[in-house]
Amino acid sequence: MLLKKYPLIVSEKVDEPSNINWENLDCSPEESFFRKCIVFFLLILIMFITFFVIIGANIVKPVDAENCD
């Protein structure tokens, strides 16, 4: 019943689904760049936090296992 009301129209030249860039279809190039910058700075921040946690754990760690209470 719907096919009679809304007929399907197929164009002759249709790209393959693998040819379509599905990433960021609704984003402008500026918005995409801004998002990538935010992700980059968050990644650097997480790396620094991890680095300082490891350094802090090594400083607090006792040197001699015999003297550990």
pLDDT, one tens digit per residue, over 39-58 is 999 999 999 999 999 999 98
Residue percentage of the chain with pLDDT more than 90: 35
Give 43 or 20, the one with higher predicted confidence: 43
Cβ proximity of 46 and 38 under 8 Å: no
CA distance 9 to 4: 12
CA distance 39 to 32: 11
Q: What is the mean pLDDT of residues 32-37?
A: 91
Distance of CA 14 to the CA centre of its chain: 30
Closest to 35 measured CA to CA, from 45, 24, 25: 24
31 secondary structure, DSSP code: H
